[in-house]
């Protein structure tokens, strides 16, 4: 199934070369979880700070069990803030 | 005593400068800066005063930690009755001006009356004098700062000034110090302009004397700086990407107000984000961002210094804008960009530079342009009236209207009145995205529910810096809460409001609160200031400041009806994103908030609350 994977700020370097800016479209196996994607792209755990699926927050403890669906947009940031 | 125990009173009508002892009883109750200056203001002016009349006063104030070794201890505030809102105004700025005031031996400066001619105040340690500013009137903040340094033959003098916007009494005119730091919100620059006060120039060589326990202070401030350095947000995220990194976050969450809050997601958010500022431009091979920057004493350094594309249509043949200068920060990039549907990063930086140069709040300016563009698309305003075609997304209109507003030209005069007055004049007050007349910042409260209550109850009109519940609802600081629910938000908002008031009163930057809690600030105040500064006392100080501001606003004629959001946010559901179908639940949160505050159902602090806080 296809999903959209977005890595922002200093995480952009972890995206594959075919990325468009901070975004890449991926083919992933059915049932793939947020945790699987974090592991597959070797994101250091402490760097995967803010994780959103379709804009909804996914808590660290839920990432392993959060299965992605066709068309989902997974976006991840390192520790950041603003104002 | 980290206070200097001394204030300077400047009577602009009489042309006098006099020294007075600081009221230390009040310092004990209100700490400093926002708290203490507000106490002076509410004690000295009629709450119903016309903000732009000589009877209004304007106070520039530091906190006890301003100018010290405490990290971010460079803040100062400008407190007055705001012309945009008719409410108490307190605008906070960084840079180096605040610390210089302390080094010159003063805690605050109170301006009263109106000068018969343009003047600027020059303070060199104990010496204070009003100097003629006829030659500076009609010039920008940038020119004024440079000219004053030149004529005083002192490059180290620190200057706060107004540009054309403040002179023209643009109701969101601000006061700019150190070229690109600003006391930005609520129109404090218009008040300064109404007093014929062009600038304040400070030179202090005394340092900060009288820290209560210097050894303990050195130790605790070093410890707390390490907390900031070790925290991934304040030690890495903010210095590297600045506040602008929120652009994609907030857009992803469906909380990025777009096209005057018609939409909650902007298709070009990526083009105006922190990531875009790091990208090399195809035109000249350079990124817009040059470096980060820090204010006095700051160990975070979130500020952005950028260089505009010299070939961009906004700056062709305008070399004065080609150098490295301040911006873009998140709020400005949002207000100038997404709020108007403009996705041209260089055009945003040009408008931002104009705001810095001529002293305009980019949030209120940008958000007012959003209202203008909506009225234009509705056919209510025409090209002939505005002077340019102004559909959503027009970078040309944004740039031109920024010039016109700063200079008070044509339709720019109407934009300079802010969106509430403009939308009301053209028959659509419901399209003004404001609370108490002040424009919203960059978070849509349909997708971040707590921010709706934050905006509605902010004592200075819509503002994110009075209780930044985004920290909790989006970033999980100090704990993660669900942004889509109203549950628990009244308590959250009150806690943020009271704590923020203490950070402001201390003279430090609220961005430290991404790593520090009040418990990290308390021992720094305790070591610096004479007296007992327990957590209980500081919590009471924060709540006292909030209630004092509220009492002033109530006496000024504001009431529960002003604690409200525009109908769009309460009746037009978000169209996309996680909040699709949701409106803001203010009506559910507000009564509970009043109750928690110890206020009547009409939003008036009860006698019991006032007695508890010593008000």
Contact A57 B480 (CB under 8 A): yes
User: What's the start-to-end Cα distance of chain B, in Å?
Assistant: 24
Number of domains in chain A: 1
* A3, pLDDT greater than 60: yes
Residues of chain A neighbouring B476 (CB-CB closer than 8 A): 50, 57
Phi, psi of B291 (to 5 degrees): -165, 175
State percent of chain B over pLDDT 70.
100
pLDDT of residue B209: 84
Q: Which two tokens stand for residue B116?
A: 């018969």
Of residues B244, B252, B577, nearest to A82 (C-beta): B244
Contact B237 A80 (CB under 8 A): yes
- What are the residues facing B129 on neighbouring strands? B122
Burial of residue B125, with CB atoms counted within 10 A of its CB: 0-12 exposed, 13-18 middle, 19 or more buried:
middle
Q: Which of B193, B171, B198 is nearest to B87 (CA)?
A: B171
Residues of chain A neighbouring B279 (CB-CB closer than 8 A): 21
Q: Which two tokens stand for residue B146?
A: 């440079």
Which residues, at least 6 apart from B561, have a Cβ–Cβ distance to it below 8 Å? Answer: none
* B256, pLDDT greater than 80: yes
Contact A80 B578 (CB under 8 A): no
Residues of chain B neighbouring A24 (CB-CB closer than 8 A): none
- What are the residues facing B291 on neighbouring strands? B305
The enclosing domain of A21 has a CATH number of 3.10.20.30
Average pLDDT for B74-96: 98
Domains of chain B: 6-203 (3.60.9.10), 243-439 (1.10.569.10), 449-613 (1.10.599.10)
Measured at the alpha carbon of residue B307, what is the angle toward residues B268 and B92, in degrees to the nearest 5?
80
State percent of chain A over pLDDT 90.
90
Of residues A56, A75, A81, nearest to B233 (C-beta): A81
Q: Which of B458, B440, B412 is nearest to B170 (CA)?
A: B412
A14 within some domain: yes
Contact A9 B245 (CB under 8 A): yes
Residues of chain A neighbouring B234 (CB-CB closer than 8 A): 81
* B1, pLDDT greater than 80: no
pLDDT of residue A83: 85
Mean pLDDT (chain B, rounded): 97
Pairing mode of beta strands B158-161, B108-112: unpaired
Contact B237 A50 (CB under 8 A): no
Looking at residue B263, what DSSP letter applies?
Answer: B
Other CB atoms within 10 Å distance of the CB of residue B595: 12
Give the pLDDT confidence of A18-39 residue by residue, as tens digits. 888 999 999 999 999 999 999 9
Q: How far is B250 from chain A (nearest CA, A)?
A: 9
Strand order in the sheet with B325-326: B289-293, B303-306, B325-326
Residues of chain A neighbouring B474 (CB-CB closer than 8 A): 50
Residues of chain A neighbouring B249 (CB-CB closer than 8 A): 8, 50, 52, 77, 80, 82
Q: Which residues of B touch A (CB under 8 A)?
A: 231-234, 236-238, 240-246, 248-249, 252-254, 270, 274-275, 279, 330-331, 464-465, 468, 470-471, 474-477, 480, 482-483, 510-511, 514, 577-578
> If you search the block for the tokens 């300077």, which residue do you land on?
B8
CA torsion, points B172, B178, B179, B185, in degrees to nearest 10?
-10
Q: How far is A14 from chain B (nearest CA, A)?
A: 14
A44 within some domain: yes
Distance CA B392, CA B370 (A): 8
Out of A43-47, B218-222, B224-228, B267-271, least confident range: A43-47
Interchain CB contact of A55 with B (< 8 Å): yes
pLDDT of residue A46: 87
pLDDT of residue A44: 92
A47 within some domain: yes
Q: How far is B254 from chain A (nearest CA, A)?
A: 7
Q: How far is B546 from chain A (nearest CA, A)?
A: 21
Q: Which two tokens stand for residue B412?
A: 């720019």
* B212, pLDDT greater than 60: yes
Q: How far is B443 from chain A (nearest CA, A)?
A: 10
Q: Categorize the per-residue pLDDT at B312 as very low, low, confident or very high, splitting at 50, 70 and 90.
A: very high
Residues of chain B neighbouring A49 (CB-CB closer than 8 A): 232
Which residues, at least 6 apart from B223, have a Cβ–Cβ distance to it below 8 Å? Answer: none
Distance CA A21, CA A13 (A): 10
pLDDT of residue A10: 93
Interchain CB contact of A75 with B (< 8 Å): yes
Q: Write the DSSP string, B320-342.
A: GGSS-EE---HHHHHHHTGGGT-
CB pairs under 8 A between A and B: 95
Residues of chain B neighbouring A22 (CB-CB closer than 8 A): 248, 270, 275
Q: How far is B415 from chain A (nearest CA, A)?
A: 25
Other CB atoms within 10 Å distance of the CB of residue A30: 9
CA distances from B79 to B109, B363, B399, B460, B527 (A): 10, 19, 30, 10, 27
Average pLDDT for B51-73: 98
Average pLDDT for B548-560: 98
Domain that holds residue A44: 2-77
Distance CA A21, CA B549 (A): 46
Residue B533, helix vs strand vs coil:
coil
Q: Which two tokens stand for residue B283?
A: 């035109």
ipTM of the prediction greater than 0.90, yes or no? yes
pLDDT of residue B299: 98
Residues of chain B neighbouring A50 (CB-CB closer than 8 A): 249, 474-476
Contact B240 A10 (CB under 8 A): yes
Q: How far is B287 from chain A (nearest CA, A)?
A: 14
Of residues B233, B510, B511, nearest to A79 (C-beta): B233
Average pLDDT for B206-227: 95
| Site from B92, B227, B237 to mutate, A interface, most A CB atoms within 10 angstroms | B237
Looking at residue B163, what DSSP letter applies?
Answer: -
Which residues, at least 6 apart from B583, have a Cβ–Cβ distance to it below 8 Å? Answer: B446, B569, B570, B571, B572, B573, B574
Distance CA B595, CA B198 (A): 44
Average pLDDT for B292-312: 97
Give Cα B208 distance to the centre of its chain: 26
Contact B243 A83 (CB under 8 A): yes
Contact A8 B248 (CB under 8 A): yes
pTM here is 0.98
Residues of chain B neighbouring A59 (CB-CB closer than 8 A): 480
Torsion B2-B3-B4-B5 (CA) sign: negative
Contact A22 B270 (CB under 8 A): yes
Q: Which of B302, B396, B394, B415 is nearest to B339 (CA)?
A: B394
A83 within some domain: no
CA distances from B142 to B259, B327, B330, B567 (A): 31, 15, 22, 40
Average pLDDT for B584-596: 98
Which residues, at least 6 apart from B287, have a Cβ–Cβ distance to it below 8 Å? Answer: B277, B278, B279, B280, B281
CA distances from B313 to A57, B134, B344, B396, B399 (A): 40, 34, 11, 9, 10
Q: How far is B238 from chain A (nearest CA, A)?
A: 6
Contact A83 B511 (CB under 8 A): yes
Which residues, at least 6 apart from A13, have a Cβ–Cβ distance to it below 8 Å? Answer: none
Q: How far is A58 from chain B (nearest CA, A)?
A: 11
Other CB atoms within 10 Å distance of the CB of residue B288: 21
A21 within some domain: yes
A82 within some domain: no
| Site from B94, B238, B252, B454 to mutate, A interface, most A CB atoms within 10 angstroms | B252
Q: Write the DSSP string, B31-84.
A: -SHHHHHHHHHHHHS-TTS-TTSTTS-EEEEE-TTTTSSSTTTT-EEEEEE-TT
Residues of chain B neighbouring A56 (CB-CB closer than 8 A): 578
| Site from B72, B243, B249 to mutate, A interface, most A CB atoms within 10 angstroms | B249
Interchain CB contact of A20 with B (< 8 Å): no
Q: Are B525 and B213 in contact (CB under 8 A)?
A: no
pLDDT of residue B513: 97
């Amino acid at each position: 199934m296809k999903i959209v994977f977005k890595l922002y700020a200093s995480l952009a370097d972890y995206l594959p070369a075919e990325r468009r800016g901070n975004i890449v479209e991926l083919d992933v196996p059915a049932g793939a979880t947020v945790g699987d994607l974090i592991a597959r792209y070797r994101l250091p755990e402490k760097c995967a700070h803010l994780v959103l699926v379709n804009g909804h927050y996914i808590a660290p403890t839920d990432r392993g069990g959060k299965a992605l669906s066709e068309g989902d947009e997974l976006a991840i940031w390192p520790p950041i803030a603003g104002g | 005593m980290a206070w200097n125990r001394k204030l300077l009173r400047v009577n602009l009508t009489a042309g006098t400068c006099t020294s007075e002892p600081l009221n230390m009883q009040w310092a004990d109750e209100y700490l400093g800066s926002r708290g203490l200056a507000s106490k002076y203001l509410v004690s000295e002016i009629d709450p119903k005063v016309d903000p732009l009349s000589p009877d209004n006063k304007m106070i520039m104030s530091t906190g006890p930690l301003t100018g010290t070794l405490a990290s971010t201890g460079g803040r100062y505030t400008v407190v007055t009755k705001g012309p945009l809102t008719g409410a108490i105004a307190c605008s906070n700025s960084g840079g180096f001006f605040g610390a210089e005031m302390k080094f010159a031996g003063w805690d605050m400066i109170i301006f009263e009356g109106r000068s018969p001619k343009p003047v600027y105040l020059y303070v060199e340690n104990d010496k204070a004098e009003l100097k003629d500013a006829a030659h500076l009137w009609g010039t920008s903040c940038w020119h004024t700062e440079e000219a004053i340094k030149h004529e005083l033959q002192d490059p180290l003098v620190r200057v706060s000034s107004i540009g054309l916007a403040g002179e023209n009494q643009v109701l969101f005119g601000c006061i700019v110090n150190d070229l690109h730091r600003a006391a930005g919100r609520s129109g404090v620059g218009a008040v300064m302009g109404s007093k014929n006060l062009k600038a304040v120039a400070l030179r202090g060589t005394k340092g900060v004397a009288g820290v209560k326990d210097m050894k303990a202070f050195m130790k605790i401030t070093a410890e707390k700086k390490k907390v900031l350095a070790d925290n991934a947000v304040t030690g890495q995220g903010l210095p590297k990407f600045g506040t602008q990194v929120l652009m994609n976050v907030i857009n992803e969450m469906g909380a990025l107000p777009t096209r005057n809050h018609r939409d909650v997601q902007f298709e070009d958010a990526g083009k105006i984000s922190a990531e875009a500022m790091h990208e090399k431009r195809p035109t000249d091979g350079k990124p817009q961002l040059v470096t980060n920057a820090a204010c006095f004493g700051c160990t975070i350094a979130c500020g952005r210094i950028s260089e505009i594309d010299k070939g961009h249509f906004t700056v062709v043949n305008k070399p004065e804008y080609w150098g490295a200068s301040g911006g873009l920060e998140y709020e400005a990039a949002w207000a100038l960009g997404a709020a108007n549907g403009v996705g041209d990063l260089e055009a945003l930086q040009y408008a931002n530079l104009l705001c810095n140069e001529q002293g305009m709040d980019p949030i209120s300016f940008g958000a007012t342009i959003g209202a203008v563009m909506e009225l234009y698309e509705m056919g209510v305003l025409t090209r002939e009236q505005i002077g340019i075609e102004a559909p959503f997304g027009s970078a040309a209109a944004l740039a031109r209207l920024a010039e016109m507003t700063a200079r008070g030209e044509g339709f720019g005069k109407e934009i300079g009145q802010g969106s509430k007055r403009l939308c009301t004049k053209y028959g659509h007050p419901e399209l003004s995205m404001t609370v108490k007349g002040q424009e919203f910042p960059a978070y849509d409260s349909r997708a971040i529910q707590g921010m709706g209550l934050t905006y509605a109850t902010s004592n200075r009109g819509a503002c994110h810096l009075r209780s930044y519940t985004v920290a909790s609802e989006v970033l999980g600081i100090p704990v993660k809460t669900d942004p889509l629910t109203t549950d628990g938000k009244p308590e959250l908002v009150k806690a943020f409001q009271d704590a923020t008031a203490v950070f402001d009163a201390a003279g430090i930057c609220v961005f430290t609160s991404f790593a520090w809690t009040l418990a990290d600030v308390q021992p720094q105040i305790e070591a610096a200031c004479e007296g007992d500064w327990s957590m209980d006392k500081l919590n009471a100080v924060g709540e006292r400041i909030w209630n004092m501001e509220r009492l002033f606003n109530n006496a000024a004629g504001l009431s529960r009806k002003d604690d409200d959001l525009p109908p769009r946010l309460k009746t037009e559901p978000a169209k996309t994103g996680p909040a699709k179908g949701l409106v803001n639940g203010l009506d559910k949160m507000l009564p509970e908030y009043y109750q928690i505050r110890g206020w009547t159902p009409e939003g008036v602090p009860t006698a019991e609350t006032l007695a508890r806080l010593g008000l």
